[in-house]
């Protein structure tokens, strides 16, 4: 079985509202794929359809080439966390995992393994009703890992975690992907995915806005821009513009230059005797790249809003 999630032409409507509209994408193994979009963009609905919980109006969602309902021991094929707080408060965390293990014929020893893995050993015999949001998240991740599945799908896994927990889960997701698993994590904040996602699926209003590798996205957003810090701003602008570059002033002493490589800029500035204090390739943040990417969609939305 190929460790993938394949979504083809998925569409779902709730009453008059189209929640997901003709959505197609593939989640590849060996990397962490971020599923990003504002609240209400259709991320959770898409995930529920992949998991066979909601019935799509059109389209298919396959896990390793099969529909969810055809999986005989689904925990071994895909681990999912939708709502980490969906636990009976009177049941102990360990027992919550135990019934899941029983239902899929997994050994009880596996329950203790995943409890150790997510660091819940000391709390596993307490009723889940007393758990903090962060502990619920860890329990949810433990449940997703119970069957040691090749595909993982986590809805807002970073939500509610403290900084230490965020670092932990980033490391965990990276190592799970490095083992060859396909990992899909959703978030409504691009910044949460910074440093964990390799690939991005951006969704807005139920439609796919972008399907791109993070590295390409960042270099596209960064362009060939170079940041120059100098006290002789006017002179520097003049010589660089003469050399065919586009120069923009940002804050105080900084210029953002595009159209020339850093090496060429250094050569030109030293040749013309313009002093500068620093020169660096400009790196866009994922947030900036996301804003670039969704600007068109936002403008379209704003126009549509005026028209209606």
**Chain residues in the site for another protein (CB under 8 A):** 1-3, 28-31, 48, 51-55, 68-69, 71-77, 80, 82-83, 85-88, 90-92, 95-96, 98-100, 102-107, 110, 143, 146-150, 179-181
Measured from the CB of residue 275, what is the shortest distance to another protein in angstroms?
46
For 307, phi then psi, to 5°, come to: -65, -35
Angle between helices 108-117 and 93-103 (to 10 degrees): 130
Angle between helices 163-178 and 133-145 (to 10 degrees): 10
114 or 221: CB nearest another protein: 114
Measured from the CB of residue 134, what is the shortest distance to another protein in angstroms?
18
- Contact by Cβ (8 Å): 59, 22: yes
Q: Which residues of 215-240 are buried (b: 16+ CB within 10 A; e: fewer)?
A: eebbeebbeebbbbebebbeebbebb
Distance CA 61, CA 26 (A): 10
Measured from the CB of residue 83, what is the shortest distance to another protein in angstroms?
5
181 or 233: CB nearest another protein: 181
- Contact by Cβ (8 Å): 229, 254: yes
- Contact by Cβ (8 Å): 200, 33: yes
Measured from the CB of residue 62, what is the shortest distance to another protein in angstroms?
14
Distance CA 5, CA 75 (A): 15
29 or 204: CB nearest another protein: 29
Measured from the CB of residue 168, what is the shortest distance to another protein in angstroms?
21
Measured from the CB of residue 194, what is the shortest distance to another protein in angstroms?
21
24 or 73: CB nearest another protein: 73
40 or 223: CB nearest another protein: 40
Measured from the CB of residue 227, what is the shortest distance to another protein in angstroms?
32
3 or 269: CB nearest another protein: 3
Measured from the CB of residue 246, what is the shortest distance to another protein in angstroms?
35
| C-alpha closest to that of 294 among 197, 205, 185 | 205
C-alpha distance from residue 93 to each of 99, 160, 230 (Å)? 10, 18, 59
The helix or strand, by DSSP H or E, that contains position 188, with its residue range, turns out to be none
Q: Which residues of 78-99 are buried (b: 16+ CB within 10 A; e: fewer)?
A: bbbbbebeebeeeebbbbbbbe
55 or 234: CB nearest another protein: 55
């Amino acid at each position: 079985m190929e460790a993938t999630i394949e979504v083809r032409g998925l569409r779902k409507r709730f009453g008059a509202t189209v929640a997901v509209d003709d959505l197609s994408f593939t989640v590849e193994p060996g990397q962490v794929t971020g599923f990003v979009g504002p609240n209400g963009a259709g991320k959770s609905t898409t995930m529920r359809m992949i998991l066979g919980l909601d019935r799509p109006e059109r389209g298919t969602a396959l896990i390793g080439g099969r529909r969810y309902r055809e999986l005989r021991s689904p925990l071994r094929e895909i681990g999912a966390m939708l709502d980490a707080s969906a636990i009976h408060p009177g049941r102990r965390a360990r027992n919550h995992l135990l019934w899941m293990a029983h239902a899929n014929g997994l050994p009880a020893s596996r329950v203790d393994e995943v409890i150790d893995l997510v660091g819940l050993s000391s709390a596993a015999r307490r009723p889940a009703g007393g758990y903090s949001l962060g502990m619920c998240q860890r329990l949810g991740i433990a449940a997703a890992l119970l069957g040691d599945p090749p595909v993982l799908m986590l809805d807002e896994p970073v939500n509610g975690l403290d900084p230490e927990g965020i670092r932990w889960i980033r490391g965990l997701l990276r190592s799970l992907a490095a083992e060859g698993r396909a990992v899909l994590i959703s978030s409504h904040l691009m910044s949460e995915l910074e440093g964990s996602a390799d690939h991005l699926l951006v969704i807005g209003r139920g439609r796919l806005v972008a399907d791109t590798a993070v590295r390409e996205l960042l270099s596209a957003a960064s362009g060939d821009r170079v940041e120059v810090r100098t006290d002789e701003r006017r002179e520097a602008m003049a010589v660089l513009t003469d050399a065919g570059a586009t120069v923009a002033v940002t804050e105080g002493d900084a210029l953002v230059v595009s159209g020339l490589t850093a090496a060429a800029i250094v050569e030109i500035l030293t040749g013309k005797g313009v002093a500068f204090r620093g020169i660096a390739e400009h790196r866009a943040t994922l947030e900036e790249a996301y804003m670039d990417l969704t600007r068109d969609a936002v403008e379209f939305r704003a126009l549509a809003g005026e028209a209606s």
